[in-house]
Amino acid sequence: MIMGLYEAHLPVKNLEVSIKFYRKLGLEFAWRDEDTAFFWLEKGKSWLGLWEGKEYQTPYHPSLRHIAFRVTYQDLTESLKWLESIKVEAVPFGRRTSIEPFIRPNQGNASVYFNDPDGNSLELMCHVEVPSELKHFAEKLSLEDWENLVSSKLK
């Protein structure tokens, strides 16, 4: 029945500023009207809607103002350089102090975070194959620590 996510939405203060930002991320503009704009995430499959209005003042909570974009592991390893090249600052996740991408072995994914101009939380995220003996590992690990741990387990 369910095949994937068709759309997600974020509140924004200024549609023009947000359109420029999301274009800078490389998203393809789909359409707009007076107070909304849509960008294709996967053309013909899923898109992101931006809604101009005072709702952008809603305090951040991941259940309200967060989107994770799927990327490859290789892209994630290069994400900080890419973000810097388009003049977007990465931000630490939760209580972490590092902006470096990190692995969640127990979830089988890796992430790096940044914000849009209105403080909506954006994430670049990929699937990570986790050896069965490491799936219980709940600590968030840097990419380097993860690769070292996996290579030591495979020896």
d(CA 62, CA 42): 22
Tokens of 135: 């799936």
Q: What share of the chain is helix, strand, coil (3-state, %, to 5)?
A: 25, 35, 40
**pLDDT given at position 150:** 85
Predicted pLDDT of residue 155: 58
State residue 62's pLDDT score.
84
Instruction: Give, in degrees to the nearest 5, the angle at Cα 115 between 109 and 119.
Output: 130
Tell me which residues of the chain have a pLDDT lower than 70.
Answer: 154-155
Domain boundaries, the chain: 1-56, 65-155
Instruction: Label residue 69 exposed, middle or buried (CB < 10 Å: 0-12, 13-18, 19+).
Output: middle
pLDDT of residue 153: 72
Question: Which CATH class name applies to 1-56?
Answer: alpha beta
Is 65-155 in CATH node 3.30.720.110?
A: yes
Give residues with Cβ within 8 angstroms of 147, minimum separation 6: none
pTM of the model: 0.93
The domains spanning 1-56 and 65-155 adopt the same CATH topology? no
